[in-house]
Amino acid sequence: MSFPARRPRRLRRTPALRRLVAETRLHPADLILPVFVREGLTEPSPISSMPGVVQHTEATLLEAADEARELGLGGIMLFGIPAVRDASGTASLDPEGILNRSIRAVKERVGEELPVMSDLCLDEFTDHGHCGVLTADGAVDNDATLEIYAQMGVAQAEAGADVVAPSGMMDGQVAVIRQALDDAGHQDVPILAYSAKYASAFYGPFREAVDSQLSGDRRTYQMDAPNRTEALREAELDITEGADMIMVKPATAYLDILADVAEISDVPVAAYQVSGEYAMIEAAAAQGWIDRRAVILESITAIRRAGATNVLTYHAAEIAGWLRENS
């Protein structure tokens, strides 16, 4: 009988020893809370496929922002749902449109203590639900869309966004937005680029969250699930074009991609735990099939361990509350 010389179990014996050697820790500042604000709403409206998440009114959005600031979250990411949509997403450029107006209101409310980030994409604003404008034959027109993205970036920066986050996966979007921001005197507004964003069925509940008008899919612009090296190409392009931070999305089913991208990136890498990931956890927890809190914390820990500096999660505020209890 020979006994082991090395015993990894020694460092697992007590919670304090395990804490001592933990290679990954969670902090509220790691977390970014995505929020939805809908024009014309008088009461918050629950999203049935995302229990616990609502479409905010402009008033309750400010309460959510207060809470996020008070909890010390890393940031808040705003998605706007306009009352009126059209083919080119005009409301996205209107300084008084729902998203730009909300950026301004939240910024006034939270000051410098909470970074306010804005989704820079057309899908919430178009009546066809695509992330860009369409050609006569219905294809998504990359370069015509870039012209609108450039103006959106400037509109969001003028409204006070601390970070703009282009999520439309148009080729060249980071470069044109950077140029437009610089030309308008917003050299100091960073770009968080959705670099490796996959055409994913995990976005299902989000489509309800923003009352998406999409029929069809986004497979001609978002990435194809089988591809891995392509994510490195996308990340490198965005970094070269001037992205200050990049993102991988979804998170849990794409941890290999996240690890690969984190390995080559010299800018911070965020990951988005998307609506379908949220919904699956909530659904299983509601059945009593999993330990809700443990699964939420384990999933975010795994995303951080794979290499994410920051995690966008609909559980951000709740997690920050737990972390506070434990400290």
Taking the least distance from each CB to ligand PBG, the nearer of 186 and 197 is 197
Angle between helices 316-326 and 292-306 (to 10 degrees): 100
The token duo for 268 is 């911070």
Q: Is 249 a catalytic residue?
A: yes
The token duo for 112 is 């410098």
CA distance 180 to 164: 12
Taking the least distance from each CB to ligand PBG, the nearer of 79 and 178 is 79
State in angstroms the smallest separation of the CB of 272 from ligand PBG: 6
Taking the least distance from each CB to ligand PBG, the nearer of 57 and 273 is 273
Q: What DSSP line would sit under 202-253, residue for residue?
A: GGHHHHHHTT----S--TTTSBPTT-SHHHHHHHHHHHHHT-SEEEEES-GG
Short-list 43, 37, 92, CA closest to 65: 37
Residue showing the smallest CB distance to ligand PBG in the complex:
206
Catalytic residue among 249, 262, 296, 311: 249
Q: Provide the sign of the torsion angle of the four alpha carbons 207, 211, 215, 221, taken in this order.
A: negative
State in angstroms the smallest separation of the CB of 248 from ligand PBG: 13
State in angstroms the smallest separation of the CB of 275 from ligand PBG: 3
State in angstroms the smallest separation of the CB of 218 from ligand PBG: 6
Catalytic residue among 38, 197, 304, 315: 197
Q: Is 107 a catalytic residue?
A: no
Q: Which residues bind ligand PBG (CB under 6 A)?
A: 119, 121, 123, 131, 167, 203, 206, 218, 274-275
Taking the least distance from each CB to ligand PBG, the nearer of 74 and 327 is 74
Short-list 294, 236, 299, CA closest to 272: 299
Q: Looking at the annotation, which residues are catalytic?
A: 197, 249
